[in-house]
Amino acid sequence: MANIFRRALSRSRDRIAGALAGLVPGRRVDAATLQDLEAALIGADIGAETAIDLIDSVREARAEDVRAALAAEMVRVLEAVSGDVAEAETGPKVVLVVGVNGSGKTTSIAKLTRLHLDRGEKVLIAAADTFRAAAVEQLRLWADRLGVELIAQASGADPAAVAFDACQAAVARGSDVVFIDTAGRLHTQGNLMSELEKIRRVTRKVVPDGPHEVLLVLDGTTGQNGLRQAEEFLQSAGVTGLVLTKLDGTAKGGVALTIARRIGLPIRFVGTGERDSDLAEFNATEYVDGLLGTEATQ
């Protein structure tokens, strides 16, 4: 697992690498190459505005330095926001998982569970998606496979009640971490967004210093709308970080860079497949290397 990002992004970095290959050492970068680079960055969903700013930052660089300067700037943006995650003082760590429909929340929870099990921790999962048909069954199958306890109620139950139950169960069982799966919701649905506030409030009755982490699961193929999602979920659910999923396709998840830059949310994890082991902790340098095709040694 030398560079999971390089492997995952290998299909997508060709365009940027191609543009970078056009650089002739010793000369100043010409406008056409910069334009190619800009298009390549936009093609990675970094967004026109961020891409233009990034290109401006290397406009004066010598050709042989462009690649490194660009990488350094991108890493700087990503690392500037990667603060420490709050840990639980006593009792279980409560992790709330939110996101729009189809972003990969349930699968991500399975992967996160696996990650914590591998560390020898005791995990409990709360099926607080009581809306989508068969969401509980989907999570139950994962929980059975992974051998962890699942707290669920009937379909249509109050998600906050499920979260509350799960936190109580986690305290009673001495679990190290409890993951709360929530129903997918578009960030434009005011009522559903305030439901997340309620879930937060209710879990605090059991675990007062929680939720320690609120992860926004962002589909890696998402375009500039990702920024709107992050803004809205930050406001209603107090998001602390991102899980960037589906990076095993040709998408690059560049909007996460814009999210880091504009609203300061770090990427915590990256999903690269459908198996429960296909999750990696985020590493800015490796991610940017994978994206730009920059040699790590450079």
User: Rounded to an integer, what distance in angstroms lies between the CA atom of residue 201 and that of residue 162?
Assistant: 13
Q: Considering the complex, what minimum distance in angstroms separates the CB of residue 101 from other proteins? A: 7
Nearer to other proteins, 183 or 206 (CB): 183
Cβ atoms of residues 166 and 178 within 8 Å: yes
User: Rounded to an integer, what distance in angstroms lies between the CA atom of residue 20 and that of residue 28?
Assistant: 13
Cβ atoms of residues 121 and 177 within 8 Å: yes
Q: Distances in Å between the alpha carbon of 160 and those of 20, 106, 163, 200?
A: 50, 17, 5, 8
Establish if 188 lies at the interface with other proteins (CB under 8 A). yes
Of the listed pieces 20-28, 63-71, 224-232, 278-286, which binds other proteins according to CB under 8 A? 224-232
Q: Which pair of structure tokens corresponds to residue 19?
A: 């543009």
Nearest in space to 247 (alpha carbons), one of 83, 13, 1, 38: 13
Nearer to other proteins, 211 or 229 (CB): 229
Establish if 171 lies at the interface with other proteins (CB under 8 A). no
Establish if 62 lies at the interface with other proteins (CB under 8 A). no
Site track for other proteins across 95-124, x = CB under 8 A: -----xxxxx--------------------
Establish if 11 lies at the interface with other proteins (CB under 8 A). yes
Bridge partner list, 93: 177
Nearer to other proteins, 89 or 137 (CB): 137
Establish if 47 lies at the interface with other proteins (CB under 8 A). yes
Q: Is the peptide bond before 211 cis (omega within 30 degrees of 0)?
A: yes
Q: Considering the complex, what minimum distance in angstroms separates the CB of residue 133 from other proteins? A: 3
Please report which helix (H) or strand (E) contains residue 56, including its range. Answer: helix 48-58
Q: Distances in Å between the alpha carbon of 83 and those of 53, 260, 265, 266, 284?
A: 24, 12, 9, 8, 13
Of the listed pieces 58-66, 116-124, 146-154, 181-189, which binds other proteins according to CB under 8 A? 181-189
Establish if 29 lies at the interface with other proteins (CB under 8 A). no
Establish if 43 lies at the interface with other proteins (CB under 8 A). yes
Q: Which pair of structure tokens corresponds to residue 167?
A: 């936190």
Residues that bind other proteins (CB under 8 A): 11, 39, 42-45, 47-49, 100-104, 132-135, 137-138, 140-142, 155, 186-191, 194, 219, 221-226, 228-229, 246, 248-252, 254-255, 274
